[in-house]
Amino acid sequence: MVNLANPTTFVELTRRVLPWLVAATAVLFVSGLWLSFAAPPDYQQGETVKIMYLHVPAAWMATFVYAVMTAAALGTLVWRHPLADAAQKAAAPLGAGFTFICLVTGSLWGKPMWGTYWVWDARLTSVLVLFILYLGLIALWRAIDDPGRAAKAAAILTLVGAVDLPIIKFSVDWWNTLHQPASVFRLDGPTIAPELLMPLLVMSLAFTCLFLTLHLMAIRNEILRRRIARVTMLAAVEGDRLAPEFATRGA
């Protein structure tokens, strides 16, 4: 963890780990999709259950990415880890992407099963709030020029927004919702048939690996962005330092 605080060490680690992560992601996606399409149809939903293999992993990633950002926000504000704000900034567009997939696939699943694309029930609304939080955080980083101030403001907003995570998780228990209750992570075990559960777990692993891969790449991009800023500033300082010399000699 201490070594990873050094951006050069982190970039070197990324260079070594990325090929393995890319390969694992590809293998998991191919296996997951093959298992998903080979899985039997649901006795009630028929083949429409295939949407579950995208919707549920995307929903899990939507909340997981925000949990990662919350940990990174603590890293920025409490432990002042040098890469925590880069990790947080890099994760936001990915979280927004997963949440978008969750919302759209859920809507496309809802129409044939519930008869509507959207209802303002607690689960759907709290996930929409999460999507808006992601967009707000991305906008906040772009709105503030000073990277240090932007990181602090984003970290505070992320921590405030973290209250949405338990609301999303328990919304189906606390309120009467059209959305079904949890069927995998339950104290009394999953209620979903093993033939449908296995492809779901493999697809979830694939989505997790995809996030890890893209997150590492995006953090590396943030490190590059900082290097560019530093080198550009150094070049400007060198130029300023030379300018009086040129002026004197020119005169």
Partner 1 sequence: MMGDPHIGFIVAAYAVAVATIGAMIGWVVLDFRNLSAELARATRALDGARGGAKGNLRLD
Based on the shown chain and the rule CB under 8 A, indicate whether residue 166 belongs to the binding site for partner 1: no
In angstroms, the CA 205 to CA 131 distance is 22
Which of 112, 148, 166, 181 is in the footprint of partner 1 by CB under 8 A? 112
Residue carrying structure tokens 């405030």: 160
Contact 58, 102 (CB under 8 A): yes
At 197, which amino acid appears? L
Q: Binding to partner 1 (CB under 8 A): which residues in 87-106?
A: 93-94, 97, 100-101, 104-105
Give 50 or 123: the residue with its C-beta nearer to partner 1: 50
Q: Would you list the DSSP string of 82-135?
A: TTHHHHHHHHHHHHHHHHHHHHHHHHHHHHHHHS-S----HHHHHHHHHHHHHH
Based on the shown chain and the rule CB under 8 A, indicate whether residue 17 belongs to the binding site for partner 1: no
Based on the shown chain and the rule CB under 8 A, indicate whether residue 109 belongs to the binding site for partner 1: yes
Give 181 or 239: the residue with its C-beta nearer to partner 1: 239
Cα first-last separation, the chain: 55
Which of 241, 244, 247, 251 is in the footprint of partner 1 by CB under 8 A? 241
Nearest approach in angstroms of CB 176 to partner 1 is 25
Total residues at interface with partner 1 (CB under 8 A): 42
Nearest approach in angstroms of CB 39 to partner 1 is 11
Nearest approach in angstroms of CB 5 to partner 1 is 21
Measuring CA to CA, which residue among 142, 43, 132, 50 is closest to residue 89?
A: 142
Q: Binding to partner 1 (CB under 8 A): which residues in 202-221?
A: 210, 214, 217-218, 220-221
Residue 46 phi, psi dihedral angles, 5° rounding? 65, -140
Nearest approach in angstroms of CB 21 to partner 1 is 13
Q: Would you list the DSSP string of 94-109?
A: HHHHHHHHHHHHHHHH
Q: Binding to partner 1 (CB under 8 A): which residues in 44-73?
A: 46-48, 50-51, 54-55, 58
Give 96 or 122: the residue with its C-beta nearer to partner 1: 96
Based on the shown chain and the rule CB under 8 A, indicate whether residue 7 belongs to the binding site for partner 1: no
- 42 DSSP β-pair partners: 46
For the packed helices 52-74 and 194-250, what is the interaxial angle rounded to 10 degrees?
40
Nearest approach in angstroms of CB 104 to partner 1 is 5
Contact 216, 18 (CB under 8 A): yes
Measuring CA to CA, which residue among 95, 90, 102 is closest to residue 57?
A: 102
Contact residues toward partner 1 (CB under 8 A) are: 37, 41, 46-48, 50-51, 54-55, 58, 93-94, 97, 100-101, 104-105, 108-109, 111-112, 210, 214, 217-218, 220-221, 224-225, 227-228, 231-232, 234-235, 238-239, 241-242, 245-246, 249
